[in-house]
Amino acid sequence: MSLHLDEAARSILETNDLGGYTIPTKGLYPYQWNWDSAFVSLGFARFSLERAWQEIETLMEGQWPDGMVPHILFRKDDPSYFPGPSVWGTHGKPMPSSGHSQPPVAATAVRHIYELDKSPAARERLKVLFRKLLKWHRWFHTARDPQGLGVIAVMHPWESGRDNLPDWDEPTKQIDTSSVGTYQRKDTSHVDPTMRPKKADYDRYLALVQFGREHNWDPYAIATNCPFFVADPAMTFILLRADRDLLALAKELGEDEAATELEEWIARTESGISILWNEDLQAFTVFDLRSGTKGDGISSASFLAPYAGISNPQYIEPMLAHFDRIASQVTYMMPSYDPDHEAFEPMRYWRGPVWGILNYMIAKGLGEIGEDSRAARMRDDTAALIAKSGFAEYFNPFTGDGAGGSSFSWTSAIWLDWVTPTRTAGEA
Cis amide linkage into residue 83, ω under 30° from 0: yes
Cβ closest to ligand DGY, residue 261 vs residue 393 = 393
CB of 136 to ligand DGY, least distance (A): 18
3-class DSSP state of 278:
strand
- Distance, in Å, from the CA atom of 378 to the CA atom of 399, rounded to the nearest integer, reads 16
Active site (annotated) includes residue 288: no
Question: By C-alpha distance, which of 349, 147, 351 is closest to 229?
Answer: 147
- Distance, in Å, from the CA atom of 364 to the CA atom of 372, rounded to the nearest integer, reads 10
Q: Is the dihedral of CA 352, 357, 358, 360 positive or negative?
A: positive
Cβ closest to ligand DGY, residue 269 vs residue 409 = 409
Cβ closest to ligand DGY, residue 87 vs residue 259 = 87
Question: By C-alpha distance, which of 59, 129, 128 is closest to 94?
Answer: 59
CB of 183 to ligand DGY, least distance (A): 13
Q: Which residues of the chain form contacts with ligand DGY (CB under 6 A)? A: 71, 158, 163, 187
Other residues' Cβ atoms within 10 Å of the Cβ of residue 323: 21
Catalytic site residue from 6, 36, 55, 163: 163
Residues ≥6 apart with Cβ < 8 Å to 254: none
Cβ closest to ligand DGY, residue 306 vs residue 405 = 405
CB of 71 to ligand DGY, least distance (A): 6
CB of 278 to ligand DGY, least distance (A): 26
3-class DSSP state of 22:
strand
CB of 65 to ligand DGY, least distance (A): 23
Strand arrangement of the beta sheet that strand 293-294 belongs to? 153-154, 230-231, 287-288, 293-294
- Distance, in Å, from the CA atom of 240 to the CA atom of 223, rounded to the nearest integer, reads 20
Cβ closest to ligand DGY, residue 32 vs residue 54 = 32
Residues ≥6 apart with Cβ < 8 Å to 134: 246, 250, 258, 261, 262
CB of 186 to ligand DGY, least distance (A): 9
Residues linked to residue 287 through DSSP beta bridges, in sequence order: 231, 294
- Distance, in Å, from the CA atom of 396 to the CA atom of 412, rounded to the nearest integer, reads 17
Cβ closest to ligand DGY, residue 71 vs residue 351 = 71
Catalytic site residue from 203, 288, 393, 417: 393
Active site (annotated) includes residue 393: yes
Catalytic residues: 163, 393
